[in-house]
Amino acid sequence: MRPVTEQTILITGATDGLGRRVAEDLAAAGATVLVHGRNPERLARTLAEITEATGNDRVTGYLADLADLSQVHTLAEEITTQHNRLDVLVNNAGVGAGPPNTPRQMSVDGYELRFAVNYLAGYALTLRLMPLLRAAAPSRIVNVASVGQEPIDFTDVMLERGYDGWRAYRQSKLAQIMFTIDLAERLAGTGVTVNALHPASLMNTKMVFEALDYTLSTIEDGAAATERLILDPDLEGVTGCYFDQQQQARAHAQAYDAGARARLWELSERLTGVTLT
Ligand SMILES: NC(=O)c1ccc[n+]([C@@H]2O[C@H](COP(=O)([O-])OP(=O)(O)OC[C@H]3O[C@@H](n4cnc5c(N)ncnc54)[C@H](OP(=O)(O)O)[C@@H]3O)[C@@H](O)[C@H]2O)c1
């Protein structure tokens, strides 16, 4: 890969938590950082703070609510218009399990919210940005998933029966890993690699504080694991893998079921209207 100072890196959900930390660290390292957020005030404040802290003036913001697929498409178009290559895409934005007893929520497109934001938006954004990623090859996609994984019940993907926030979260996180493995196979030989990780357990972030009253690790722990997948030259060519923090690990068994992955891929194409080109 190019030296980090020549890399253009997009991080979704970079106005808080892990994404915010990784964006600042990469800006400090001299990368051109595309900071994605959904709230104009939070995005403006994040850009100002990162620029002030790092002195890097190649930090720019992009607004999109990932619960709305039309905004995902607009985000991809804006980035494609303004950049001719993308060295790294970090699909980090996510919604947690929510406070206890949170009722089932829907995206703008009528899909179960966590499946939509945590998985479908990243699927669509990644495929829409593929021409830029191919143009930058060797380039990387990093999917921020989780060790919390539950199999997808293809008869009830939108969780209409017996909704539970943790189940919704974990299903979406396994979907990200299944997508990672499939996409790596489809991108073989292109120089675009894709890996997923569990950054760290119960970091001190908003999504953890709203669901639980304790933490087990820090944002810095998760940032170190995530930045390794983004930058470590030793991972050149490594693709289709799931990492539990810094260690390559085995994901839930459904991730290795080619039939289940094919079903998810077909469903994702249908729900988003986006195919790999
Ligand atoms: N925290 C943990 O212990 C832990 C463990 C394993 C995996 N992870 C994963 O790590 C990633 C980052 O989580 P975090 O802990 O840093 O959580 P966080 O502090 O709650 O940050 C989540 C980010 O996602 C953004 N986001 C949420 N919904 C969005 C939407 N509809 N459209 C656009 N952006 C949206 C948030 O935007 P706002 O700033 O506007 O709210 C925020 O920037 C997630 O994928 C999560 O699943 C976290």
- The alpha carbon of 194 and the centre of ligand 1 are apart by a number of angstroms equal to 20
User: Do the domain assignments include residue 69?
Assistant: yes
User: Do the domain assignments include residue 181?
Assistant: yes
The Cα-based distances of 19 to 70, 118, 124, 208 in angstroms read: 22, 14, 19, 14
Please say if the pLDDT value at position 84 is more than 90.
Answer: yes
User: Do the domain assignments include residue 205?
Assistant: yes
Amino acid at position 83, single letter: H
**If you average pLDDT over residues 202-224, what whole number do you get?**
96
127 band by pLDDT with thresholds 50, 70 and 90: very high
User: Do the domain assignments include residue 277?
Assistant: no
Rg (CA), the chain: 17
Note if 169 is an active site residue: yes
Angle formed at CA 37 by CA 68 and CA 230, multiple of 5 degrees: 110
Please say if the pLDDT value at position 277 is more than 90.
Answer: no
Is this prediction's pTM over 0.85? yes
User: Do the domain assignments include residue 155?
Assistant: yes
Q: Which two tokens stand for residue 182?
A: 């499939």
**If you average pLDDT over residues 246-270, what whole number do you get?**
98
- The alpha carbon of 48 and the centre of ligand 1 are apart by a number of angstroms equal to 20
CATH number (domain holding residue 8): 3.40.50.720
Please say if the pLDDT value at position 156 is more than 90.
Answer: yes
User: Do the domain assignments include residue 28?
Assistant: yes
User: Does the beta carbon of 144 lie inside 6 Å of ligand 1?
Assistant: yes
**If you average pLDDT over residues 18-31, what whole number do you get?**
98
3-class DSSP assignment, residue 2: coil
* Average pLDDT along the chain: 98
Q: Number of structural domains, the chain?
A: 1
3-class DSSP assignment, residue 139: strand
The pLDDT of residue 223: 98
Q: Which of 207, 209, 229 to mutate to test the pocket of ligand 1 (most atoms within 8 A of CB)?
A: 207
Residue-number span of the structural domain to which 213 is assigned: 4-272
221 band by pLDDT with thresholds 50, 70 and 90: very high
Q: What is the pLDDT of residues 159-191, one digit of tens each?
A: 999 899 999 999 999 999 999 999 999 999 999
Please say if the pLDDT value at position 146 is more than 90.
Answer: yes
From atom 42 of ligand 1, which residue's Cα is the shortest distance away?
A: 13
**Euclidean distance between CA atoms 8 and 126, whole angstroms:** 15
State the catalytic residue, choosing from 62, 169, 214, 242.
Answer: 169
